[in-house]
Amino acid sequence: MSLLDIKNLTLEIDLASGWVKALDKINLVINEGQIHALVGESGSGKSIIVKAIVGALPDRWRVTADRMTWRGQDLLTMSASERRKVIRNDISVIFQNPKNSLDPLLTLGEQIKELVPTYRLESFWFWQRAAEREKIAIELIHKVGIKDHKLCMQSYPHQIANDVCQKFMIAMALVSEPKLIIADDPTRGMEVTAKSQILKLLSRVNQVRKLSVLFVSHDLLAISSMAHYMTVLYCGQTVESGKMLQLRKRALHPYTQALLDSAPSFRKELPPKSPLSSLDGTIPTLQHLPIGCRLGPRCPRARKECVVVPAVRRVHEHYYSCHYPLHWDKK
């Protein structure tokens, strides 16, 4: 059974100009033990999908879906408190800017110890429990590769470097022994070494603990070597999803291909100093969404049929939404 199963998730936002569909029939399935990459340009709706999963959207926004289940339980019909309980027990989220997610007035040690769930404590007396919390926190801090646990635990969020803070967030995410970690662009703005350390850490967590990871990023290159499965978003629509290797080898959607082509490492035949290819134009704002396939105005293969939203098609485990997919030219 899949952990998370989302079918046709639609999110409408009320802007000054009226209601707009920020997410339009999004599909996302995450299986146990899988690293799933959710990829798309800035503004494609990755963060609001994360917020929709954990139920952190403003109440006035309209969320509908044909199916949105967590381990078979329907998230949409659950009461707010039931849903909070499910999320607290099973899902941990790591946000883009780790320092914004921490309390600036508490030391890191105080914050991680507070998160240790009581079921992980064996002692009865509170002073023994405090020591147990400390032990669990230190173990986790070491596990994520922070050597000086004392310095880390005594520091306030503003006193530590961003990459150490992100590793610490991963330690915090592991405290509750979740089934799924959602990492919302955790390496954004980091330099290459720090980025690769965070990626390796998440990959190790996945292998050692069999933990599922939903890795949200606009950086296809960063995650392509670690993710098993990938879903590509464009402007609030799912354009393609499938096994990472399959998508890299034979993408069917022009947008996925454009993303792959814009990453130098996927183009081995590229002569030095030649320009990287990219799609013309930019992602539209919510106020100016094109009708039908939202890639239409930027798509090199667009034809008149593209004013109708393409249905999801399936080839084995590979899903795509395009009237004129690559390699399948209509006569």
Ligand X SMILES: Nc1ncnc2c1ncn2[C@@H]1O[C@H](COP(=O)(O)OP(=O)(O)OP(=O)(O)O)[C@@H](O)[C@H]1O
Chain residues in the site for ligand X (CB under 6 A) = 13, 22, 40, 42-48, 185, 218, 286
Residue 230 carries which DSSP code? E
Percent helix, percent strand, percent coil in the chain, to nearest 5: 40, 20, 40
User: Between residues 52 and 211, which has the closer beta carbon with respect to ligand X?
Assistant: 52
If the CB atoms of residues 48 and 230 are measured against ligand X, the closer one turns out to be 48
Centroid of chain to Cα 113: 26
Tell me the HSE value of 166 on the side-chain side, using a 13 A CA sphere. 23
> Nearest distance from residue 39's CB to ligand X, in Å?
9
CB 160 within 8 Å of CB 169: no
Is 43 or 290 the residue whose CB approaches ligand X more closely? Answer: 43
Task: Extract the tokens encoding 162.
Answer: 């961003």
Is 8 within 8 Å of 66 (Cβ atoms)? yes
Position of tokens 């381990």?
71
Tokens at 214, concatenated: 């939903």
From the CB of 48, what's the least distance to ligand X, in Å? 4
Cβ burial, residue 54 (10 Å; 0-12/13-18/19+)? middle
Q: Which amino acid is at 327?
A: H
Residue among 44 and 257 whose Cβ is closer to ligand X: 44
Smallest gap from Cβ 218 to ligand X, in A, equals: 5
Least distance to ligand X, CB of residue 77, Å: 24
Nearer to ligand X, 153 or 185 (CB): 185
Q: Is the dihedral of CA 9, 248, 2, 310 positive or negative?
A: positive
Q: In which residue are the tokens 């290797």 written?
A: 245
Going by C-alpha positions, the residue among 316, 287, 286, 281 that lies closest to residue 302 is: 281
Task: Give least dist CB 16 to ligand X, A.
Answer: 10
Nearer Cβ to ligand X (168/234): 234
Task: Output the smallest distance, CB 50 to ligand X, in A.
Answer: 8
Toward ligand X, which CB reaches closer, 22 or 182?
Answer: 22
Nearer to ligand X, 107 or 262 (CB): 262
Shortest Cβ 15–ligand X spacing (Å): 6
Name the residue type at position 15: L
Report the candidate in 269, 201, 283, 213 with the shortest Cα–Cα distance to residue 244: 213
As given in the structure block, the two tokens for residue 105 are: 């007035």
Among residues 4, 29, 245, 203, the alpha carbon closest in space to that of 195 is found at 203
Smallest separation, CB 156 to ligand X (Å): 26
User: How far apart are CB 233 and ligand X at their closest, in Å?
Assistant: 7
Picking from 25, 1, 16, 9, the residue whose alpha carbon sits closest to that of residue 65 is: 9
Phi, psi of 78 (to 5 degrees): -70, 150
- Which residue, 24 or 113, is less far from ligand X as judged by CB? 24
